[in-house]
Structure 1
Amino acid sequence: MTKLRLAIVGAGPAGIYAADILLKAERGFDVSIDLFEQLPAPYGLVRYGVAPDHPRIKGIISALREVVDRGDIRLFGNVQFGTDITLDDLKKHYNAVIFATGAIRDADLDIPGVDLDGSYGAAEFVSWFDGHPDVPRTWPLEAESVAVIGNGNVALDVSRMLAKHADDLLPTEIPANVYDILKSSPVTDVHIFGRRGPAQVKFTPLELRELGELNDVDMIVYEEDFDYDDASKAAIASNKQVMVIDRVLQQWRQREVGAASRRLHLHFYAKPLEIVDDGTGHVSAIRYERTAPDGEGGVRGTGEIREIPIRALYRAVGYFGSPLDNIPYDEKHGVIPNREGQVLHKTDNTRMYGVYATGWIKRGPVGLIGHTKSDAMETIKHVINDQGNWWTPVDPSEESIVTLLRERGVEYTNLDGWHNLDSHELALGAAEGRTRIKVVPRDEMVKISNRS
């Protein structure tokens, strides 16, 4: 029987789901899958892109672990595509490759002052508090008043981590250095800005509700934001998610505030215009235009300009994909050009046979886990049906890629290595009454993974 040797680059949810769907699909050939991940540990943004105080994420990791631990997928961690292994290498040893590399950079925010000291991308901050091995271990939390731009879940994650008292994070897997820095933060006020109204936000009810449960943090909403137009009223009446979000916000309107040591302000109908320089190259304020409903679910500018003093700002306006060596790339949208996951040459939109994409690098950084699964199903359908266009590898043996990595001196980690690291982190956590304490330095992760 024909055998498909498949490489998947990226061991986050998108890559793991793609592998699982292919292994379970009806097909007329055998399958052998190797999963390549640039970090020593799997799970991608579930491990390194979500705030540590999200218990529901553990359920997602459990589902991913079940797939990886079945034993029918090989994992090669600490392997960088384009450096440790190339597209030509994959063509020599596999019939096809799926790129599931996600989107980990911050999307651009094109307003004056965005490059001032004290202006940060949300993705950088998330990587820091999640213990990503490739970011600095320090963070300058020195501001009493902070702004967060964005009305999606990442904006709420960042805002919650800034406003939450560090001791309330101790039960989580937060790294020790992150706890120490958060503990010393002087923050008193976090301001969240979104250019549209409460009925048009992009975050989910669960995220919003969690925000309102913070200890010793007042939720501040402004009455002027709740004069709903007909389009907003219709959205609340017709969409259950919007209805729940409105219900939460209405409850916050009734709360007594003023007793907490920290405040979290939600500014709707606020379009950021400029990050103001204090004269020394540092953030001193955010200048924004008050917007108003346009009657069709959108907003229009009112010409009213406001300013709020701040000393730090976080841009949570979306993630953006990164280019990959010798793979087509759409600079405007931060994705690999594709048709239902089949990668296309940029010059003429013809197929790049044997090359596929799934997840955020395929469709952009939108959608939750459910979208990732359906996305993978679409891509896998084409992998199965494209048998006539697969590559013909020179050496498809499973040993060949191991030999190649060893010859190049790549200190890769495997599934047993991940089990070593996982057990080590759980033991570190148990010793302090916590679920897990992440190992942060890359070299230490590799050393623990590869010990016998």
Structure 2
Amino acid sequence: MNPRRVAIVGAGPSGLFAAQALLARAPFEVGIDIFDRLPSPFGLLRYGVAPDHASIKAIATVLARVFDDPRVRFFGLVELGRDVTVAELTASYDAVVYAAGASEDRRMEIPGETLLGSHSAREFVAWYSGHPDASPQSLRGVRTAVTVGVGNVAIDVARVLLKPAGDLAATDMPQAVLDELRAAQIQDVWVIGRRGPEHASFTTPELRELLALPGVAVDVQGVELASIDDADLDRRTKANVAALLESTTPPAGPRPGTHDGDGSDSGQDGARPRARLHFLFWHRPVRIVGAGQVEHVVCERTAPAGPGRVEGVGDLVTIDAQLVLRAIGYRGIPIPGVPFDAETGRIFNQDGRVTDPDGTVHPGEYAVGWIKRGPIGVIGTNKADAGQTVGLILDDLAAAPEREERDLIALLAARGFSPSTLADWRRIDTAELARGEAGGRERAKIEAWHELLDLVRTGRAGGPPSVADQRV
């Protein structure tokens, strides 16, 4: 029996977990080709996990062992729909696994959302994580930042904005990001949630880490924490409410950031705080106001309106701010040639088997991760999710007849297109480690497309970018 050949589109955690499961569980010989649009693997682990969360990013070290297996090949700089079609993939492989993640963000759909200074948290995270597609973010003139959403992304963004830049200097953040954060003069960060803290999705360790930042005074508005009935709460949400209750002290003066505030509140020890962190629950932004750029955020008080829903009750509060970052969820984007549900932002599938909207299965096509189930769960959730899909793949391959092999890489070469390889990624990895060592830290990200492409082509980073190097 010839080896069964599997293509995985996306080298992030879900794709690598799928490869890991295939290698461990396949009862027959299997060859795996992993494709990614970037010349580097690891996806969200590299470009979505906060740089100061080294323990989570270390999962990449474990997943990297997949590439030590001779049955696995990595091909970067390959974008499905641009460099290769779904028809070419399905003709070349016994199974194709889509692990594309969710790379778009949800919008608030409120007036002023497109003002300068209003961004998605996804854009901000990509910037401080050194993603080559990220646009530079300016914090000049920002005294107050508002994050909208109560998940871990909002918590990460708030922590990066409030943490002393010196404490981030040991991370793999690009030097330009560290310089921008070091020059920033942010005094207040708001975290706004349309429901209460008992409904927030952040995890307790991440919340406690934010609340414990030195020199940061914390206050909670919009809810009486002590009055929350925790009888029906799970362990995580109970711990979240308790952490907020432990960390809060009544403000000493008018609410900072509003029109009548004088900024005179103090920290828990009576000393003037370095910065202030405000949680505003049971509120939602209804408009962002400014003459060309963000100046104020107007929020409306909310009330429950059925399971998972809220409605505005008319009471408004205005927050002076210069930066707004929405962290209200991600969604997938369509893959040319793959059935896509625009309403949910996912590939149509049944437990991982790709289907048409009417449920008709596409033989040999599968989905894993967020593009399969939506942007829910933590990184580890992808392991069980990938295992479910791999079980179906192995069942289907065991019953499928052998077919003539077709070499997709040779097809691409005939067009004059050469993907990057694992050796190219290792040159990038080595260059980042060297750059970090030169600056007294373990690693410093290379964030510019032209430098990444230089390393792929010549083994050296440097030189000005050219038009041809703008790989977007």
What TM-score, normalized by structure 1, do the two folds share? 0.91
1:414 corresponds in structure 2 to 421
Q: Does 1:173 align with 2:172?
A: yes
The separation in 2 between residues aligned to 1:295 and 1:8, in whole angstroms, is 41
1:423 corresponds in structure 2 to 430
Contact residue 79 and residue 410 of structure 1 kept, 8 A: no
Contact residue 37 and residue 77 of structure 1 kept, 8 A: yes
Shift of 1:300: 5.5
Deviation per residue, 1:278-318 (Å, 9 max, x gap): 2x232221122223567988756443222212122110001
Contact residue 288 and residue 297 of structure 2 kept, 8 A: yes
Shift of 1:2: 4.3
Amino acid at match of 2:434: A
Q: Does 1:234 align with 2:245?
A: no
Q: Which runs of 5+ in 1 are unaligned?
A: none
Q: How many residues are matched? A: 441
Q: 1:368 to 1:252 in 2, by over 3 A?
A: same
Deviation per residue, 1:36-76 (Å, 9 max, x gap): 01001000011011211112223211111122233331100
Shift of 1:176: 0.7
Shift of 1:366: 0.5
Moved more, 95-104 or 70-79: 70-79
Q: Does 1:50 align with 2:61?
A: no
1:247 corresponds in structure 2 to 242
2:257 corresponds in structure 1 to none
Contact residue 75 and residue 421 of structure 2 kept, 8 A: yes
Contact residue 225 and residue 241 of structure 2 kept, 8 A: no
Shift of 1:423: 1.7
Q: 1:198 to 1:391 in 2, by over 3 A?
A: farther
The separation in 1 between residues aligned to 2:159 and 2:400, in whole angstroms, is 47
The separation in 1 between residues aligned to 2:326 and 2:400, in whole angstroms, is 42
The separation in 2 between residues aligned to 1:294 and 1:226, in whole angstroms, is 21
2:143 corresponds in structure 1 to 144
Say which SS state the counterpart of residue 386 (structure 1) adopts.
helix
Contact residue 354 and residue 391 of structure 1 kept, 8 A: no
Q: 1:148 to 1:7 in 2, by over 3 A?
A: same
Q: Does 1:446 align with 2:456?
A: no
The percent of aligned pairs where both chains have the same amino acid is 40
Amino acid at match of 2:23: L
1:118 corresponds in structure 2 to 117
Q: 1:36 to 1:174 in 2, by over 3 A?
A: same
1:375 corresponds in structure 2 to 385
Aligned alpha-carbon RMSD (Å): 2.3
Q: 1:302 to 1:257 in 2, by over 3 A?
A: farther
Amino acid at match of 2:432: E
The separation in 2 between residues aligned to 1:448 and 1:363, in whole angstroms, is 35
The separation in 1 between residues aligned to 2:186 and 2:336, in whole angstroms, is 42
What TM-score, normalized by structure 2, do the two folds share? 0.87
Q: 1:205 to 1:308 in 2, by over 3 A?
A: same
Deviation per residue, 1:105-142 (Å, 9 max, x gap): 11122222222222101111111111111123353543
Amino acid at match of 2:242: R
The separation in 2 between residues aligned to 1:332 and 1:16, in whole angstroms, is 27
2:318 corresponds in structure 1 to 307
1:196 corresponds in structure 2 to 195
Moved more, 433-442 or 110-119: 110-119
Q: Does 1:81 align with 2:91?
A: no
1:96 corresponds in structure 2 to 95
The separation in 2 between residues aligned to 1:295 and 1:15, in whole angstroms, is 37
